[in-house]
Structures are given as C-alpha cells and as structure tokens.
C-alpha cells in the first residue's frame, strides 16, 4: 500500500471540510472559534510538523474580552486584534510580533503571519478551523487543542 494515499485522503478531507462557500454562521450554532487554542496543522497546503529545535508549536487564541489575538508564529510571539462579522467573516488588524531571530527553523514567521493579513473568512467543523481568502483553498488549517 502506498503510504502517500492515506495522507492525501486526509488532506483532501480536511480541505473539503474547509469549504468557504458554506453560508451558515457557526458562532450562532455554538461552534465558537473564540477562546480556543488553535494549533496549526496545514499552511499553504503543506503539513506542519514541529521541529526539534522549535521552542513550541505554532498556534493562536482569539480572546473575546478585548477582541485580542495572541499566539506563537514558530519563532516569535504574536498579538493583534480581530473582528468577527456576519456569515463567517473575520478580520485581523494591528498584528505585531516580537523580534527574535531563529534562522534554523523550517517555517518563516512571515509565512504564517501572512495568513492573518490575507484571511477574510473562516470555516469551522468538528474542531477544524480554516482561515480562507475568498473562495480559494484554505490559507491555513488549524485543530482545536483542549487543555486539562
């Protein structure tokens, strides 16, 4: 059996669950995206694996109290603001990162941060969040992680 086949099938399933043409509002159905730890799984169609020299995994959290986004971009901490709008629309603004240099990491922080500048909508289903631009393939796919 080809090892790539199950991986391709899994990626196809994730991408299909991220279909940005869905016009319902998950926030109204109890599927909130705020106050959850969203771990990056796929960036620009590529699987993301944490490297040994990486400080921690890439993630973000949307905090509803003050509409803040916080997280980690692979090398640097990130912060900014977000606005959730009707029909799964989302906007990020005033995004900032710390200025640490990490030359040996596989992912450049700027690749991940570009998602926040480009994303204008999202889809969420079964703890999988996709940040999208228009009706294109997802810019990034995240999985909710629940802490005990």
Most confident of 8-17, 52-61, 104-113, 130-139: 130-139
Comparing 106 with 73, which gets the higher pLDDT?
73
Residues 64, 35 contacting (CB under 8 angstroms): yes
Measured in residues, the chain has a length of 148
Comparing 58 with 22, which gets the higher pLDDT?
58
Examine the pLDDT at 47 and tell me if it is beyond 50: yes
**pLDDT attached to residue 100:** 87
Model pTM score: 0.80
Evaluated on CA atoms 84, 127, 47, 15, the torsion sign reads negative
The SS3 of residue 68 is strand
- Interior/surface letters 22-52, b for 16+ CB within 10 angstroms, e for the rest: eeeebeeeeeebeebebbbbbbeeeebeeee
Radius of gyration of the chain (CA): 15
> Could you tell me the two tokens for 63?
């905090």
Of 56, 83, 88, 58, the closest CA to residue 68 belongs to: 83
**pLDDT attached to residue 63:** 97
């Amino acid at each position: 059996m080809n090892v790539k086949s199950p991986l391709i099938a899994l990626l196809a399933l994730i991408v299909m669950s991220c279909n940005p043409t869905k016009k319902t509002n998950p926030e109204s159905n109890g599927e909130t995206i705020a106050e959850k730890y969203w771990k990056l799984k796929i960036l620009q169609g590529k699987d993301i694996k944490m490297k040994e020299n990486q400080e921690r995994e890439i993630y973000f959290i949307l905090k509803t109290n003050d509409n803040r986004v916080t997280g980690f971009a692979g090398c640097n901490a990130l912060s900014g603001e977000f606005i959730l709008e009707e029909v799964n629309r989302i906007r990020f603004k005033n995004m900032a990162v710390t200025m640490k240099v990490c030359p040996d990491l596989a992912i450049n922080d700027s690749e991940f941060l570009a998602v926040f500048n480009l994303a204008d909508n999202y889809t969420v289903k079964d703890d999988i969040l996709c940040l999208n631009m228009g009706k294109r393939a997802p810019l990034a796919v995240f999985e909710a992680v629940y802490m005990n």
